Structure 1
């Protein structure tokens, strides 16, 4: 039911003390060397041979990185070919494992200069040349190099895989797009996994092309691109299947699209989709296998010009591929025990509706800018007009000197001098502020004096008699309170 089977996993030998340093280590648990093994090594080799005889690719999955020198790269070729020859694999799946920091100035994926990148491309060409054009070569990559390599700085940190897959694009049989996070569209907004747009966004850059270090990166042929699909359990939730099929319809047929479309689509020659691992799908009844196989069979029947799904002698039509792990038995196909490679997010490239957006945005922004300019100009002239027509302030000269109507503060003197001032009549001087007319306060004082004078006349008491009595009383009180003290009285500041 699967056209491509990837057997998990060979790892990079990064121990300098081992003779295989720089190469790979592949140690499947097989009898008799592994006591826990379920099949014998000979049975495993026979199972691989049987699947290949059916026209399938059985690829060794390698978790690879970039060698640090020529010797490490040579060891890589030596160990890879040794494993391929021993077990009879007819292809390799190169899984992303770490990112090589590119040398400064290495900013063109078409002409890489970082030695480890250049050497790795050479190594893969040597392996491919040894086994011929039908030898499968798969690169399973996250979306990090596609999404975060647009400028020169980001390309140096994230783009090391791009010169490899670009140089080997004619030799690559499958470009696998792994996933495990939300993707980003071309505005930077996330595209959640629980939407059909997610699958469109996942395939967008490899199928539609993108910018790498300021240089357009050519799209891959759809017949080489496969999506790593999420498995589902229909007994729990069948919605993932519906979203996957709807996303595939948008990619391959141009129907059922939501917000996202891929530039240059649809792509009926899409290679297929891959399961995380076969065993997990079979444990829940094989929904991936039973749904995706008929889907791509029908797609192939409706698209006669569709290219083959895999590079093998059988030349089969586009069908699902499986990223599987583990060992085989002679009586079955492949039993699996391990999971898929990690992946990150993907961003989207230009859309067919981008022309609409490019027209809509200026139509909104330009009037707003014009209105702001008009408002600024009007505000300038209004402020200028107000300044030129501001009324001249009227100032009034105010005499800050104490009014002669206010009782002056008497300096401290001896008792005799103090009492003598009580007998002095206060001058009556017209206030300059009232043009000789008494103030309101003065008027109230005059009214009180007039009332006092009238009452004194009623009881037969003259003003002179009252003044004399008060003078005698004040002199007696002062003498009794102050005595002969020369200390001045306390001073208080009060408000009038």
Structure 2
């Protein structure tokens, strides 16, 4: 509301003084019906080589800058450091990096800051940490003119405390404070703010069997569910990592294993059909909209455990979006509006001759 009032005042003053008012910023393009999401190693090389953001091919619709990490596990204060030249010899200067972001956005791409990763443990255990998270995330977004934030909390960032058994009413401070922080960011930047999440299957689909402490499993089991549920009206995209995963039980009560079409079909169907948390039929995690869901995959066998051959991925996509070619697992519907695919990572895909982009840009047209 304040922005609208300010804009009106500027126009009136300009008219009275006889000069033109400044042009409003052009609205950014909406996310396409089907999208490819890729992580870009912006702060490290990780063996795959450094890729400048200006060199990211047009196939990618969302580019996640990896990673912003906390100054300490519980500080909430984030830092985004560019890859040092000692590790990334071809790293571009800050000015070129900023220009590259703007150039991608001018082509309709969304550029986000991804928070966490394997090494970036974030535990918002206090209100002070929550506020530091919001302030530092906002500073990074503003510094680089980004479109939103990706939450890639792994390891011990989220864990449910004693007695926290209802995903609809969480009690654990680190969960409650993360929800509050993300709602604050969404409110600050408005409806066009892009919010994505990249949890591991352990934190989402495992919640069908186990949820939190006292369930017979690790208290981290299903710990993302309250965050996803609380933000479902603001969530742009959930792309669970269908890799680096142990066997997960699907809604058919069968174990499913990484690297197969059935694994991706079963894991995705759980998000699109909903499921009783810890098998409690009185406590069902509601389905997400198909356009809020993408499938997360490693771009190559050396990018992560659980690489899936393109033919298997296509079989899963055909099953989910067309209802054809399904394997042993039969999903609870057909979902042509499924948003698309996410991969770790753009760098690894480049290293692998762009196999991922070549195969799946064509699939979605």
Decide: shared fold, TM above 0.5. Answer: yes
Task: Tell me how many residue pairs correspond in the alignment.
Answer: 287
User: For residue 206 of structure 1, what is the aligned residue in structure 2?
Assistant: 271
2:65 is aligned with 1:7: yes
Q: 1:267 to 1:52 in 2, by over 3 A?
A: same
Give the corresponding residue for 1:176. Answer: 239
Partner of 1:82: 139
Question: Counterparts of 2:100 and 2:114 in 1: how far apart (Å)?
Answer: 16
- Selected match of 1:254 from 320, 323, 336: 323
Question: Whole-Å Cα distance in 2 between the matches of residues 91 and 222 of structure 1?
Answer: 20
| SS of structure 2 residue aligned to 1:158 | coil
| Number of the residue aligned with 2:109 | 56
Q: 1:26 to 1:202 in 2, by over 3 A?
A: same
User: Unaligned 5+ residue runs, structure 2?
Assistant: 1-58, 302-306
**2:298 match: secondary structure:** coil
- What CA distance in whole angstroms lies between the structure 2 residues aligned with 1:84 and 1:239? 33
Residues in 2 aligned to 1:275 and 1:100: alpha-carbon distance in whole angstroms: 22
**Larger Cα Rg: Structure 1 or Structure 2?**
1
Other structure's SS at 2:309 match: helix
**Structure 1 residues 40 and 243, CA, compared in 2 at 3 Å: closer, same or farther?**
same
Tell me what 1:143 maps to: 201
Higher-helix-fraction structure: 1
1:219/1:15 CA distance change after superposition, 3 Å: closer
Q: 1:108 deviation in Å?
A: 1.6
Distance of aligned partners of 1:105 and 1:195 in 2 relative to their CA distance in 1, 3 Å threshold: closer
Instruction: Map residues 100-119 of structure 1 onto 2, 5 A cutoff.
Output: 100-119=158-177
Give how far 1:26 is off: 1.0
Q: Match of 2:96, SS? A: helix
5+ long unaligned stretches in structure 1: 298-496
Question: Do the aligned partners of residues 194 and 144 (structure 1) sit closer, same or farther apart at CA in structure 2, a change above 3 Å counting?
Answer: closer
> Structure 1 residues 194, 75: CA separation in 2 closer, same or farther (over 3 Å shift)?
closer
Partners of 1:36 and 1:15 lie apart in 2 by 30
Give 1:487's aligned residue: none
Question: Does the 8 A contact of 1:30 with 1:37 survive in 2?
Answer: no
Whether the 8 Å contact between 2:130 and 2:181 is mirrored in structure 1 is: yes
Distance 1:47 1:258, change over 3 A: same
Task: Tell me the TM-score normalized by structure 2.
Answer: 0.72
**SS class of match (1:93):** strand
* Bigger share in strand: 2
The two structures, once aligned, show a CA RMSD in angstroms of: 2.6
User: Structure 1 residue 115: deviation in Å?
Assistant: 2.8
Q: Which residue of 2 aligns with 1:128?
A: 186
